Structure 1
């Protein structure tokens, strides 16, 4: 009887603690959405800042955030993929492997403001990239690498050893087994990790203040020449992202409707991040069912 009672008490405590976490999360998200969504409109989403309510309109900031995210993923995914495969399939327990894992842990624990200052000193000043989308994408890469690497490594390690043995028993080389058997089996987890990391860096602000910049220059969405100064595809132009925009309108002291703009922008930012998170689960489950034939 005592054991059953203790089990019920422990279960109740655990459920209570989990409920507190969920309640805090729902309270934060609910407050942001309730205060911000009423001011979100088609005009707010698809006009430029100076064209709406003395500083509203987030079309440029929203596009800049997506553009930075895509460029950062294009840079970080190949590096993370190689590092994850090496750590999961080739690395042996020695000082080199230990050093790599320690470096990944240290990189993941660095504050984003430190990475931003490093990007400012090295990318903006030393390599003279100035405040640009490219500099911001490289800075985001440093934030993204440890998350992606660990996600890819864990996804590969979750594949059953029988899959490796089956590939090798068919006469495939080790690399052919990894490429044709292991990676497809681990693909749902890898895709989930990529999408979750995308949601993480989409809301990043501190690292981008010192690398991508805080200005939103005039650009043309009909100019597809990436070497043109006014092209929306130019990676060398400064770019104010949505997260930086929220910080800026609350600190510059000159935007008359700062509260409205920041609340509405925060609601949009939360919605996009939620889409990333729920999308990761949906895509991961769909890919898994397609690869395994599970219904």
Structure 2
């Protein structure tokens, strides 16, 4: 017995040590990015446009494009992912077709984003004639985030107790009403958590957007609310450089004198935004779960 207890303590200590090393690496990386980047972040930096060949530029356009792309991508991806999750969780029979569909979702989640970016360039940009645009970038990011969103929604739906479904069916409700009025409200915390986590991934994506959304930004008119105007900030057909692409571009081109400061500040803003997305997902999920238990 003593030998088994020693082995258990040794294994537990080894696991905790490895987990501590991994956590230390992550915390050190985040701390380094924040320490080196936050001194360069200011109100002027956040609210001014980027400079091409001079120092003192900001990241306002890129920051806005990133948030706008998050909205566009979720508007396309959430209905598709939720529909697929409802089918897999509530309607799909357990057969070879369902297993093949789940395998396809897993394979899609393992594809590198650069491959999906090239696919988006060939299909959305060239074949569909969308050119470099926010819409083409949103469609490419939809492909990237569909597996994550589908799994999150399906898991949330499966966590709803079967007794609640049986109670609704026992009252004479059709299956679609049980799903819509009983299952979905109970699964809402998990679904929203998955959406917010997916938003953080969209915000930090760069590789796929280089080939779809483009690396340049038109002179955006933030006072024009007409989504069909070429320079309107609401026009999804305009090319748009996001914050993550801007960091890559600044470091690779080196055309501005303060490239290191701009990239460090932009990286700090990117890290903080993704942290806010993740903390918001946890906070909102816990809040909704408490409300549903009342």
Q: Is the 8 A contact 1:44 1:52 kept in 2?
A: no
Cα distance, 1:116–1:192 mapped onto 2, change above 3 Å:
same
After the TM superposition, which of the residue ranges 48-57 and 186-195 deviates more from structure 2? Answer: 48-57
Deviation at 1:191, TM superposition (A): 0.6
* TM-score using structure 2 length: 0.97
Deviation at 1:95, TM superposition (A): 2.2
Q: Is the 8 A contact 2:52 2:256 kept in 1?
A: no
Cα shift readout 1:235-277 (whole Å, capped 9, x = no counterpart): 1100000000000001113121111111100000000000000
Cα distance, 1:278–1:28 mapped onto 2, change above 3 Å:
same
Counterparts of residues 260-279 of structure 1 (less than 5 Å) = 260-279=261-280
Counterparts of residues 176-215 of structure 1 (less than 5 Å) = 176-215=177-216
Counterparts of residues 142-153 of structure 1 (less than 5 Å) = 142-153=143-154
> Which residue of structure 2 lines up, in the alignment, with residue 4 of structure 1?
5
Distance across 1 between alignment mates of 2:53 and 2:233: 20
SS at match of 2:230: coil
Question: Gaps (5+ residues) in structure 1?
Answer: none
Distance across 2 between alignment mates of 1:44 and 1:53: 14
Q: Is the 8 A contact 1:51 1:57 kept in 2?
A: no
Distance across 1 between alignment mates of 2:114 and 2:204: 14
- RMSD over aligned Cα, in angstroms? 1.3
Distance across 2 between alignment mates of 1:208 and 1:201: 10
SS at match of 2:234: coil
Cα shift readout 1:118-177 (whole Å, capped 9, x = no counterpart): 111111111111100010110110011111001111111111111111211222111111
Question: Gaps (5+ residues) in structure 2?
Answer: none
> Which residue of structure 2 lines up, in the alignment, with residue 253 of structure 1?
254
Q: Is the 8 A contact 1:163 1:181 kept in 2?
A: yes
> Which residue of structure 1 lines up, in the alignment, with residue 20 of structure 2?
19
> Which residue of structure 2 lines up, in the alignment, with residue 85 of structure 1?
86
Distance across 2 between alignment mates of 1:113 and 1:31: 27
Q: Is the 8 A contact 2:200 2:278 kept in 1?
A: yes
* TM-score using structure 1 length: 0.97
> Which residue of structure 2 lines up, in the alignment, with residue 99 of structure 1?
100
Deviation at 1:203, TM superposition (A): 0.3
Distance across 2 between alignment mates of 1:8 and 1:198: 40
Q: Is the 8 A contact 1:65 1:202 kept in 2?
A: yes
Residue 233 (str. 1) matches residue 231 (str. 2) = no
